[in-house]
Chains A and B, each alone.
Chain A
Amino acid sequence: MRSFILILLSSNMFSLLEIEIIKGSDNLSKVAFVPFGIEENLDENYGLQISTQIEKNMLLFGEFENLDKAEMLSFPSSEEDFYYRDWKIMGVDYSVIGKINSINMLGNLNISYSLFNINRRIKILEGEIIGRENNIEGIAKIISNRIYEKITGLKGIFDTKLAYIVNSDAETFQMCISDIDGKNEQILFTSAAPIMSPDWSPDRKKIAYVSFENGLAEIFIQDLASGERESIQALGMTNSAPVWSPDGKSLALVVSFSGNPDIFSYSINNKRLVRLTNHYGIDTEPSWSPDSKKIIFTSDRSGSPQLYEINTQSKRKKRLTRDGNYNARGRYFPDGKSIFFVHGNDGNFQIATKKLSSRFIETLTSTSLDESPTISPNGNIIIYATKDGSKGYLGGITLDGKSRFSLPVKNGSVREPAWSP
Chain B
Amino acid sequence: MNKILISLNTFALILLFLSFTFSIFSITTLKVDEIQPIKVNFFELIDIAEPPNRVSVVKPKENINEADLIKTQESNGVKNASGLEKYKINKPDIKKELSKIKLSKEREAIIKISAIIQDKISSVWIKPNSLSKILVAKVLINLAPSGEVLNFEMVEPSKNIVFDESVLIAINKMSFFEEVLGLERKLFESNFRNFKLVFKSSGEIE
On A, residues with C-beta under 8 Å from B are: 1-4, 7-8, 11-12, 14-25, 27-29, 93, 117, 119-120, 152-154, 333, 335, 337-338, 353, 355, 358, 379-380, 398-400
Contact = CB atoms under 8 A, between A and B. Distances in A.
B126 A25 contact: yes
Given A17-B39, A25-B125, A27-B124, 20 more contacts: A1-B19, A4-B19, A4-B23, A16-B195, A17-B38, A17-B192, A18-B195, A18-B197, A19-B45, A20-B198, A21-B199, A21-B200, A25-B127, A27-B123, A120-B165, A152-B129, A152-B162, A153-B163, A338-B131, A400-B127
Interface string B116-128: 0110011111111
A147 B194 CA distance: 36
Given A17-B191, A18-B38, A24-B122, A3 B20 contact: yes
A173 B132 CA distance: 38
B129 A400 contact: yes
A357 B158 CA distance: 21
A178 B121 CA distance: 41
B169 A152 contact: no
B35 to A, nearest CB: 5
Contacts of A338: 131-132
Interface string B16-47: 00011011001100100001111111100100
B38 A15 contact: yes
Contacts of A398: 129
B122 A152 contact: no
A4 B22 contact: yes
Contacts of B37: 14-18
Contacts of B27: 4, 7
A174 B107 CA distance: 66
A2 B198 CA distance: 34
B190 interface: yes
Interface string B149-190: 000000000001111010011001100000000000000001
Contacts of B161: 153
B202 interface: yes
B197 A25 contact: no
A24 B197 CA distance: 13
A150 to B, nearest CB: 9
Contacts of B40: 17-20
B23 A337 contact: no
Given A12-B190, A19-B196, A119 B169 contact: yes
A7 B23 CA distance: 9
Given A8-B35, A338-B132, A22 B126 contact: no
B126 A27 contact: yes
B110 to A, nearest CB: 7
Given A12-B35, A16-B194, A19-B114, A29 B26 contact: no
Top 4 nearest A-B pairs by Cβ distance? A24-B127, A153-B162, A15-B37, A4-B23
29 contacts: A1-B19, A8-B30, A12-B190, A15-B37, A16-B37, A17-B114, A17-B192, A18-B196, A18-B197, A19-B197, A20-B39, A20-B41, A20-B200, A21-B122, A22-B200, A22-B202, A22-B203, A23-B42, A25-B122, A25-B125, A27-B126, A93-B126, A93-B169, A119-B173, A153-B160, A153-B162, A333-B131, A338-B131, A399-B131
